[in-house]
Structure 1
Amino acid sequence: MAWTKYQLFLAGLMLTTGSINTLSAKWADLFSAKGCHDNPEHDFSHPFVQAVGMFLGEFSCLVVFYILLFHDKRRPEPRMNPGQSFNPLLFFPPAMCDMTATSIMYVALNMTSASSFQMLRGSVIIFTGLLSVAFLGRRLAPSQWIGIFVTILGLVVVGLADFVSGHKDDTHKLSDVITGDLLIIMAQIIVSVQMVLEEKFVYKHDVHPLRAVGTEGFFGFVVLTLLLIPMYFIHVGSFSNNPRQVLEDALDAFCQIGHKPLILLALLGNTVSIAFFNFAGISVTKEISATTRMVLDSLRTLVIWVVSLALSWEQFHGLQVLGFLVLLLGTALYNGLHRPLLARIPWCAERMNRGEEEGSGGERDRLLDNGRAQTAEDT
């Protein structure tokens, strides 16, 4: 069935805004400017300020939800389902997971390349699959287990590519690249915990997706904004790249933005893109399919990689090509993208109909869709 113009628009919007989200965050990291009190020019290294901006973008989804709801109620026959009433505090634990994972990923993005950052985020399916078996009682199909092992292999290849490039690239130190990659994978463990919490405690309620994203964004924005105050006084030594060597110096970030307003453009790009990315992702799942959303998310990695190479933000490494293809294969197997091909083979179709995918397909898609990776993607 051919896509409508609206479906094509949604797919393009998701791919574009998802790519801008990572690229704008990396663009901000590449700036350098003077800080407060005439501090010498230094790199813009403020991951927690960037994370606050990301949550502001998610929070805006809640505003959009109420605008759409208000507009719908004025119709003679309202069509929008606002969902049942719920306790907003249900979203607090997953929001804290989101906040922690996002902050870690922004720290990691400062240490490694944008393409590796996006590729390594694919490791979320490993931990999501394992945790869903352990805590949700889900049974994974054989193809999903194969997908997990293939993804692990892909991560090893991407890690080797970063290890090799770390010896040749002066942009990042080898130790920073390895640390950044490990932090990204650590963050995916937290993201998978967030997904399981949402599936077990939140999404059994009928909550509108925009309202869910916006509520988590609200908690993340408020809590992380308040945490910027103690972070201003916590000294972490050489681990921090800001002049005062504290965990986060928000005042220094604002001073740098004042000296170089282009940084603000990069931060706004990150904030606005995450809002549109969430809207587009939810709409793609509703209007087309969850599988299409997974495919577009994989294409986003390719776009980020190509743009980074075109802008000379990183160098081309053949191992990354292999790593990307292996990760793509692992994601495809885990998400069942091979099933339409196998369905054409009679004996495979018969086995699939016998229940190989019982208890895994629809629920798994729902689990992954509720997790964003990709919001936060993600980030």
Structure 2
Amino acid sequence: MTRGALVLFVGLFSVLFLRRKLYLYQWLALVVAVLGVGIVGLAGAVFKDNPEALGDSRTVTQLISRAEELDGFSGETPVAVRTIIGVLLIAGAQIFTATQFVLEEWILENYAMDPLQVVGWEGIFGFLVTLFGMIILHFAIGNTENGRHGYFDMREGWHNTTTNKAVAISGILIMISIGGFNFFGLSVTRSVSATSRSTIDTCRTLFIWMISLGLGWESFKWLQVVGFAMLVYGTFLFNDIASPPLKACVPTHRPREELFPEEPIEHI
């Protein structure tokens, strides 16, 4: 549910900083979408998957739990503390992502830049910041006795990337995928709004769930179907694809978009 709170943060920031106006039915649509994501997550937490039904494949959660047991983190830190830390980290990530969405809309609105240009500059900025952080962490942690061959060891990371073909190919494909994802997302932001983009982006979970079902990584749960139905309905309602259920939610003086200019069209 914390992951789905992105749409609320984007809507709130759009109203505060971009002076956008969201009507009552749009706020209700955002709440419905967040509740839908929350129900999907609740279904996965309440109804645990049976490992025998899923075959021998281990999920990412199982691998992380196993790594925590080997590292001793799971035994030293209480479950409640780890849960609170996880929720706070996810909430902070959603605030940063919402800030990025709103800032991108402001840039596209105030500067003559195409989405591809914005993606390029974001990529250059991210590359430089990451490189700067890697160098600092390498000499501060990765170059020490305890940090050698760990996460922050640049030499170890470069060696694994250049010697492992699967890692190198995966890295290149991920860069292409993220570049395309950001380009299409910015195109939606320029055509509609950052809040509409966030609602559509949240629907990615539905397609991930469908693919996971096909690959046998997830078991079917009816409660998740209810959550995804609420998510899709909230997205359709916010983007005016579905009509509000109550007439009281419909704005009475909503400005109407002009389809054609008032000036006569010149014929050739």
Shorter chain as denominator, the TM-score bin is 0.5 to 0.7
In the alignment, which residue of structure 2 is the partner of 1:197?
Answer: 103
Q: How far does the alpha carbon of each residue in 1:221-260 deviate from its partner, in whole angstroms, 9 at most, with x for none?
A: 1111111112235559xxxxx97555x3443333333453
1:141 aligns with 2:23: yes
Task: Return the match for 2:35 from 142, 146, 153.
Answer: 153
For the 8 Å contact 1:121–1:184, the answer to whether it is kept is yes
3-state SS of 1:355 partner: coil
Distance in 2 between residues matched to 1:183 and 1:127, nearest whole Å: 15
Q: Deviations over 1:61-112 (max 9, x none)?
A: xxxxxxxxxxxxxxxxxxxxxxxxxxxxxxxxxxxxxxxxxxxxxxxxxxxx
2: distance between equivalents of 1:203 and 1:276?
21
Contact 2:37–2:227 (8 Å) recurs in 1: yes
Q: Secondary structure at the match of 1:203?
A: helix
Q: 1:260 to 1:166 in 2, by over 3 A?
A: farther
- The aligned residue for residue 14 of structure 2 is 132
TM-score calculated relative to the size of structure 2? 0.64
- Does residue 226 in structure 1 map to residue 124 in structure 2? no
Q: Does 1:302 align with 2:177?
A: no
Summarize the Cα distance change of 1:131–1:150 in structure 2 as closer, same or farther, 3 Å threshold: same
2:225 maps to which of 312, 321, 331 = 321
Deviation per CA, 1:130-174, whole angstroms, max 9, x where unpaired?
122223333210111101221332233133234236686634539
Question: Does the 8 A contact of 2:203 with 2:232 survive in 1?
Answer: no
Q: Is 1:271 equivalent to 2:175 in the alignment?
A: yes
Q: Does 1:262 align with 2:166?
A: yes
Q: In structure 2, give the amino acid aligned to 1:134.
A: L
Q: What SS class does the counterpart of residue 336 from structure 1 fall into?
A: coil
Match of 1:332 in 2: 236
Aligned length: 226
Corresponding residue for residue 214 of structure 1? 120
Q: Is the 8 A contact 2:233 2:242 kept in 1?
A: no
Say whether the 8 Å CA contact 1:144–1:334 is kept in structure 2. yes
1:186 corresponds in structure 2 to 92
Q: CA deviation at 1:127?
A: 0.3
Match of 2:71 in 1: none
Range with greater deviation from structure 2 (306-315 or 260-269)? 306-315
Tell me if structure 2 keeps the 8 A contact 1:131–1:192.
yes
1:325-373 Cα offsets, whole Å, 9 max, x none, are 222222222333224xx6xx9x96xx65x433x59x9xxxxxxxxxxxx
User: What is the distance in 2 between the residues matched to 1:199 and 1:295?
Assistant: 15
Shift of 1:262: 1.2
In 2, distance between residues paired with 1:185 and 1:334?
22
Residues 277-314 of structure 1, C-alpha deviations (whole Å, 9 max, x = no match): 3444566788xx64997887566433322222333344
For residues 356-367 of structure 1, the aligned pairs below 5 Å read 356=254, 358=255
Structure 1 residue 251 and structure 2 residue 149: aligned? no
Distance (whole Å) between structure 2 residues aligned to residue 199 and residue 147 of structure 1: 21
Rounded to whole Å, the distance in 1 between the matches of 2:219 and 2:87 is 17
- Residues 284 and 145 of structure 1, relative CA distance in 2, 3 Å threshold: closer
CA distance in 2, matches of 1:198, 1:281: 10
Distance 1:209 1:225 in 2: 24
Q: CA deviation at 1:180?
A: 5.7
Q: For residues 226 and 285 of structure 1, do their structure 2 counterparts lie closer, same or farther at Cα, with a shift above 3 Å needed?
A: closer
Task: Identify if the C-alpha distance between structure 1 residues 297 and 149 changes in structure 2 by more than 3 Å, giving closer, same or farther.
Answer: closer
Could you tell me how far apart the structure 1 residues matched to 2:217 and 2:83 are? 14
Q: Output the CA distance in 1 between the equivalents of 2:155 and 2:47.
A: 34
Q: CA deviation at 1:126?
A: 0.6
CA distance in 1, matches of 2:214, 2:107: 44
* CA distance, structure 1, for counterparts of residue 197 and residue 93 of structure 2: 22
One-letter amino acid matched to 1:191:
T
Q: CA deviation at 1:274?
A: 2.3
Query: Could you say if the C-alpha distance between residues 177 and 195 of structure 1 is closer, same or farther in structure 2, counting changes exceeding 3 Å?
Result: same
Does structure 2 conserve the Cα–Cα contact (< 8 Å) formed by 1:161 and 1:319? yes
Q: 2:253 is paired with a residue of what secondary structure?
A: helix
In 2, the alpha carbon distance for the partners of 1:182 and 1:168 equals 29
